[in-house]
Structure 1
Amino acid sequence: MLPFRTLISIDKSAEASIYLQLAEQLRRLIGDGILKTGQKLPGTRQLAELLQLHRKTIIAAYDELLAEGWLESRAGSGTFVADPLPLVRPQTLGKEIDGQRTHREPGFPFESKPHLVRPLLLMGEGLRLDDGFPDIRLAPMEELARAYRSYFRWGNPQQHFGYGDPKGNRLLREELSVFLNETRALRTTADNILISRGSMMGIHLASTLLLKPGQTAVVGETNWSGANMNFQQAGAELLTVPVDQHGLDVEALAELCQRRPVRLVYVTPHHHYPTTVTLPPDRRLRLLQLSQQHGFVILEDDYDYEFHYLRRPVLPLASADPNGMVIYIGSLSKSVAPAFRIGYVVASETVIDELARLRRIIDRQGDAMLEFAIGQLFRNGDMRRHLKKAHQTYLSRCNYFCSLLTSALAGSLQFVKPDGGLAVWAKFDPQIELAQLAQKAKVEGLTFSDGLAHNPPGKALNSTRLGFASSTETELEQSVAILRKLVKG
């Protein structure tokens, strides 16, 4: 008989059940060939005595291995190592190429979509002038933690932890309705709002609902690639119109509408992405007129409305839309922190109902706890206090950053101080190769975008977004010092 007491070691203080430890070690002895196929195992009483374990533990371990096919029971004879063994040879997930299996390539074809390829924006270590992220150090974490705890203490557990409305938590939708009506002059109820996981989901759902293959979606010549990807994924033909120092050229859009039918126009009128300029009132009115005249939907992405610095924010297109042609999309990810995936879509009730049906087939419901917690922050005033504090901080950082750029990098880049938002649109001197500069800066501990993602097809803007909001004034000083060192020598 094998020396089972030596071969098997049971740790009674371990978290794993004793019978599972025994089963795993017997399985390993079989796999290593120490226990041979067809070999008879000791009876349950005998093995229990050998290992100083309860017989029921041995029975449970044997039953586990019998169920898995490692052992077999022969009536009147005992328990034996199975023959054949249920061994599965580990394989990689790819197909065989030149006699070797690869993790990378599958055995079936599929179409890779080039429009989905774009660099990820990550918040890494060190200094950064990012795309325009908020400073997560300002986020109301303690207030949010209290709101989370209240979720577990209040209400019906079945309601809290069961399935909810695909439109989102009712409390948050009600509070958002009040907030949007007061700050943006919208006229909504909770039934006009769908909570999404960030603005990207809202754009995806709207694209799926509104666009059919071959229909035309129009965006600015410079535009957020995340929106472009969604329109292309829906099968739309993506056309562009120029963007100037005042934003989208609506007269160029009018000419385009004369030539062909347009289904959707995507705009970021408050702070055009990426250039940060604000669409003036006359263009806004003209855009609404064109929408009514030609029947296209306006998808208005108001991703950082809260942060406008020079004057009272210009009201959204949706607030001046008498004909229901605007779908309004916003996000709290820029207001709190990117990890908190809370966005919203505002539209007529019938549109929201249909968007909720679409959302249900890709994401049954959102994060009920997070949505409740954010709703609580709105209800008790913590969110408004946070937004006010963040606004003051980002305004101060915007002023300081722009003064640093002017004093330290004069002649090396051009920019217009933004009316709002969390980034500066900077155009570098043609003698400066922006992609190379970004690589050199990374070696020095500073990360920023090389701007290539903002280039329209066939054009090199040599421009990028330099985000200031996520950095303190000291960090901004250090970042600009690195830029100055690299471009001035």
Structure 2
Amino acid sequence: MSSPVNIPFLSFISLDREAKTPIYLQLAQQLINAIQRGYLVPGAKMPGSRKLSELLSLHRKTVIAAYEDLHHQGWIAIEPNKGAFVMDNKTKMVERPYDALVSLGNYPTQTGYSFKQSNLLDNPFEESNCTYQWNDGLPDVRLTQFNQLSGLYSASLKRKGTAKKMSNNQASIYFKEQLSNYLNSSRGLHISKDNLLITRSTEMSLYIISQLIISAGDVVIVGELGLFTANMIFQSAKANLQTIPVDGQGIDVDALELKLTSTKIKAVYITPHHHYPTTVTLSAKRRVKLLQLAQEYGFVIIEDDYDYDFQYEKSTIMPLASADLNGMVIYTGTFGKSLAPSFSTGFVVAPKNLISEMQKYLGLLDRHGDVIMQQVLGEMIAEGDIHRHLKKSLKVYMERRDNCCELIAKHLGERVKFNKPSGGLGLWLNWQAPISLLQMAKFCTQKGLFIPKNILYQNRNFTAIRLGFGHLTMEEMEKSLEIMGEYLSSLP
């Protein structure tokens, strides 16, 4: 049996006097860990409270308190006039080699077992502390009326019926009723609450969809340039991801038809309103043909209404889901994208039988959801608040789009070519002569402008950038494009 004098307690006991956890509890926890790991073997005698307090530079009462806690939990036995001993439990006592002990104050840096790892799911987003930053087209949270939103949330939380709604899911039902009315009036749909699934985000929606309709090896068609997060989700579901070209009228449906003659396709993923990243709108002719092909060949159309709310022209293009009579379209998107991110929510529109099956998966991932937030969003629809907020936001974003186009012409000149988009929060810039976008991003970072890699598109055939303008004021755009112009001026 090891003598308590020979056990190197300082090698595996590490106490943090700045932590909120009392010292005696820290000591007790680490002594328990030492017993579990075999550093203190069954039957071993513990040092006296005076001896251990001197060794660890603690007050004796702290050690006594730790020993009493261990005794009450059954880790040690305290025998009068003999001392404290690690509980034996009739386990064979083995001497422990202490030459390689590790502090019990540290958590393991790696697992002791293997697990699946995937490069597909590496975080594609970068962060920076630069004063100015481009992104791929995010709303400006500064436009959110936080006082109004917080007031609505607080009022909903204080109502007497809130507890009942949280327990029996009434808030979710109310929100689905309001959202179905909103989508029917704004998207030309003809749905009820039974055709809706409420999720936390579009990414969660796509994940659940992929779990239901995609099996390993199934062919999923996406645009040659497309939304990278959606591609990551489909690939993680082991889909065989294949691409078709995208031009000024959206995805090339004729190329899709040609591929269908030799390939069985499970699904086609599209962002038809404002294609990501090029911002083009899928033409009416191609929309009709895509629906016809889906019915003829039996593939699923996953329609993501990316940036649908941000439309600046009077003529509104309806989603494919509004013309789907055969149940071939799964329509997904984000409600409240013009609000702060924490106030937006994802949704899926589909026939009732699919929604019922998707609800099972949602029950595993997010059983209750944020019922208070759903109640608030439902009230915003019912009272017309969401319409008023979006109307004000659209005016600001349209001005920023126009300003950004003028500033690009001013600072980048003939080096880039772009079309003013009819909606959305991003611009697609094509460089007329190839330059190193990574070198430009590096130069701009040194000047205080951050350009993330996920908005850069470059290969042998093209050089392009997707610039999001929604989050920037006129002054911020001016400075950002001025820095990019400096880099261009430095080129030979």
Maintained 8 Å contact 2:136/2:455: no
Over 3 Å counting, the alpha-carbon distance change for 1:163 and 1:465 in structure 2 is farther
Q: Following the alignment from structure 1 to structure 2, what is the Cα–Cα distance between the partners of residues 27 and 200?
A: 40
Indicate the SS of the match to 1:148.
helix
Report the count of equivalent residues.
446
Q: Following the alignment from structure 1 to structure 2, what is the Cα–Cα distance between the partners of residues 16 and 273?
A: 48
- Find the partner of 2:139 among 134, 137, 148: 134
Indicate the SS of the match to 1:191.
helix
Alignment-derived partner of residue 114 in structure 1? 119
Q: Following the alignment from structure 2 to structure 1, what is the Cα–Cα distance between the partners of residues 69 and 77?
A: 11
- Structure-to-structure mapping, 1:116-195, within 5 angstroms: 116-122=121-127, 125-162=130-167, 164=169, 169-195=172-198
Displacement of 1:121: 4.7
Alignment-derived partner of residue 11 in structure 1? none
Displacement of 1:63: 4.2
Alignment-derived partner of residue 355 in structure 1? 358
1:304 maps onto 2:301 in alignment: no
Q: Following the alignment from structure 2 to structure 1, what is the Cα–Cα distance between the partners of residues 312 and 187?
A: 16
Over 3 Å counting, the alpha-carbon distance change for 1:413 and 1:23 in structure 2 is closer
Alignment-derived partner of residue 273 in structure 1? 276
Q: Amino acid of the residue matched to residue 252 of structure 2?
A: D
Maintained 8 Å contact 2:457/2:463: no
Mean CA deviation greater in 405-414 or 76-85: 76-85
Alignment-derived partner of residue 470 in structure 2? 469
Maintained 8 Å contact 1:265/1:298: yes
- Structure-to-structure mapping, 1:70-469, within 5 angstroms: 71-74=76-79, 77=81, 80=84, 82=86, 89-90=102-103, 103=109, 106-122=111-127, 125-162=130-167, 164=169, 169-332=172-335, 334-340=337-343, 342-450=345-453, 454=457, 459=460, 461-469=462-470
Alignment-derived partner of residue 483 in structure 2? 482
Mean CA deviation greater in 340-349 or 288-297: 340-349
Deviations 1:369-402 (A, max 9, x none): 2222222222222211111111110000000100
Indicate the SS of the match to 1:383.
helix
Q: Following the alignment from structure 1 to structure 2, what is the Cα–Cα distance between the partners of residues 423 and 480?
A: 15
Over 3 Å counting, the alpha-carbon distance change for 1:354 and 1:290 in structure 2 is same
Displacement of 1:67: 3.4
Mean CA deviation greater in 439-448 or 392-401: 439-448
Deviations 1:105-144 (A, max 9, x none): x443344333323521548552122110000001131122
Alignment-derived partner of residue 10 in structure 1? none
Q: Following the alignment from structure 1 to structure 2, what is the Cα–Cα distance between the partners of residues 331 and 27?
A: 46
The alignment's TM-score, normalised by the length of structure 2, stands at 0.81
Q: Amino acid of the residue matched to residue 484 of structure 1?
A: G
Indicate the SS of the match to 2:211.
helix
Indicate the SS of the match to 2:341.
coil
Mean CA deviation greater in 429-438 or 320-329: 429-438
Mean CA deviation greater in 429-438 or 214-223: 429-438
Indicate the SS of the match to 2:321.
helix
Q: Following the alignment from structure 1 to structure 2, what is the Cα–Cα distance between the partners of residues 21 and 207?
A: 50
Maintained 8 Å contact 2:307/2:424: yes
Deviations 1:149-196 (A, max 9, x none): 12322244543444748xx82222111111111111111111111111
Displacement of 1:423: 0.6
Q: Following the alignment from structure 1 to structure 2, what is the Cα–Cα distance between the partners of residues 175 and 26?
A: 55
Q: Following the alignment from structure 1 to structure 2, what is the Cα–Cα distance between the partners of residues 311 and 77?
A: 91
- Structure-to-structure mapping, 1:5-20, within 5 angstroms: none
Q: Following the alignment from structure 1 to structure 2, what is the Cα–Cα distance between the partners of residues 264 and 26?
A: 57
Over 3 Å counting, the alpha-carbon distance change for 1:399 and 1:351 in structure 2 is same
Maintained 8 Å contact 1:307/1:421: yes
Over 3 Å counting, the alpha-carbon distance change for 1:413 and 1:27 in structure 2 is closer
Indicate the SS of the match to 2:417.
strand
Q: Following the alignment from structure 1 to structure 2, what is the Cα–Cα distance between the partners of residues 404 and 80?
A: 78
Q: Amino acid of the residue matched to residue 338 of structure 1?
A: P
Maintained 8 Å contact 1:217/1:238: yes
The alignment's TM-score, normalised by the length of structure 1, stands at 0.82
Deviations 1:37-78 (A, max 9, x none): 545569xxxxxxxx9x9xxx999866423135665222x558
Displacement of 1:311: 3.1
Maintained 8 Å contact 1:41/1:78: no
Displacement of 1:337: 2.7
Alignment-derived partner of residue 13 in structure 2? none
* Structure 1 residues without counterparts, runs of 5 or longer: 1-13, 43-50, 95-102
Deviations 1:194-216 (A, max 9, x none): 11111011111111111111211
Alignment-derived partner of residue 8 in structure 1? none
Q: Following the alignment from structure 2 to structure 1, what is the Cα–Cα distance between the partners of residues 470 and 199?
A: 24
What is the root-mean-square deviation of aligned Cα atoms in Å? 3.4
Indicate the SS of the match to 1:169.
helix
Over 3 Å counting, the alpha-carbon distance change for 1:25 and 1:272 in structure 2 is closer
Q: Amino acid of the residue matched to residue 113 of structure 2?
A: F
Q: Amino acid of the residue matched to residue 84 of structure 2?
A: F
Deviations 1:306-325 (A, max 9, x none): 11113322000001111111
Maintained 8 Å contact 2:137/2:426: yes
Alignment-derived partner of residue 100 in structure 1? none
Indicate the SS of the match to 2:356.
helix
Maintained 8 Å contact 1:423/1:469: yes
Q: Following the alignment from structure 2 to structure 1, what is the Cα–Cα distance between the partners of residues 49 and 327?
A: 77
Alignment-derived partner of residue 92 in structure 2? none
Maintained 8 Å contact 2:210/2:233: yes
Over 3 Å counting, the alpha-carbon distance change for 1:377 and 1:15 in structure 2 is farther
* Identical-pair percentage: 35
* Structure 2 residues without counterparts, runs of 5 or longer: 1-17, 35-43, 51-58, 89-94
